[in-house]
Chains A and B, each alone.
Chain A
Amino acid sequence: MLVLTRKLGESIAIDDHIKIRVVQIKGKQVRLGIEAPKDTKIHREEVYVAIQEQNQQSASVPADKTRSVAKLLKP
């Protein structure tokens, strides 16, 4: 992993099109501004972790569970 030190207001450029700037430092929190092409996906890491967890839990559903939910939903 590349580790860089930046001061408030300084930026990092990734490739030719992505710029990440330190916008604010307050206690333990750092606010980052990200400039990137519209097509670039930018998510907090937690989003990916939450989706992975959701996938894991979904994969453990037994077949009779969906059948019983289907019956439960019938009027």
Chain B
Amino acid sequence: MIISTSRFGQVELKQEDVLTFPEGLLGFGDLRKFALLDDPNDEIFAWLQSCEAPQIAFPVLEPELFAPQYKATLTKSDMEALKLSAQEKARYFSIVTIPDDPTQMTANLKAPVVVNVEARTARQCVLQDNNLAIREPIFTKLQQRVVQNPAVAIKNQSSGIDVATKLNIVKEAGL
């Protein structure tokens, strides 16, 4: 299948690349189908692209890249909505906001996008833990990560990027 995106043009996807969000995301309740795209021109982020609204896409990062101790506790209803049998089977992604000054970029640790890779189901789970920030500053932490291990691309240091689909552009945006 081919989906339209405002950022990347027309992108080819397999049916199994599509993630279903039964409840949408907060503020985007109407959008139920997304794909995680791995942009080869960018060594850090993946994109959670809506299959239904071309202009809606969120840059995402695995929290373990900047918060190695990150631990999410899902509720029974989260698990049921995700059709998850065990919490360990979930993959987590934090939605990132990048303002004009990128050093002020933040990630949402309080409400990660949780993916059940097997069932291709996902949900933005609002965690009860009050110590988790909705806007966690991450620029310096990412920078440290790169400095510690400069030879390895940051994407390859994460375990979940294989969930994402390599961006396969059929027709560039703006052409």
CB-based contact A58/B59 at 8 Å? yes
C-alpha spacing A40/B76, complex, angstroms: 9
CA distance A72 to B134 in the complex (A): 24
A52-B128 contact, Cβ under 8 Å, with A39-B77, A59-B57:
no
Separation in Å of the B149 CB from the closest CB of chain A?
Answer: 10
Contact A66 B59 (CB under 8 A): yes
Assess whether A70 is interfacial by the CB under 8 Å rule: yes
CB distance from A46 to the nearest CB of B (A): 10
Query: DSSP majority for the A interface?
Result: helix
Q: Is the CB of A58 within 8 A of B95?
A: yes
Q: What are 27 of the A-B contact pairs (CB < 8 Å)?
A: A39-B75, A50-B134, A51-B26, A51-B111, A51-B134, A54-B134, A55-B95, A56-B27, A58-B59, A58-B98, A58-B108, A61-B97, A63-B47, A65-B98, A65-B102, A66-B39, A66-B42, A66-B44, A66-B47, A67-B39, A68-B102, A69-B102, A70-B43, A70-B45, A72-B102, A73-B143, A75-B147
- A residues contacting B by CB (< 8 A) are 39-43, 47-48, 50-59, 61-63, 65-70, 72-75
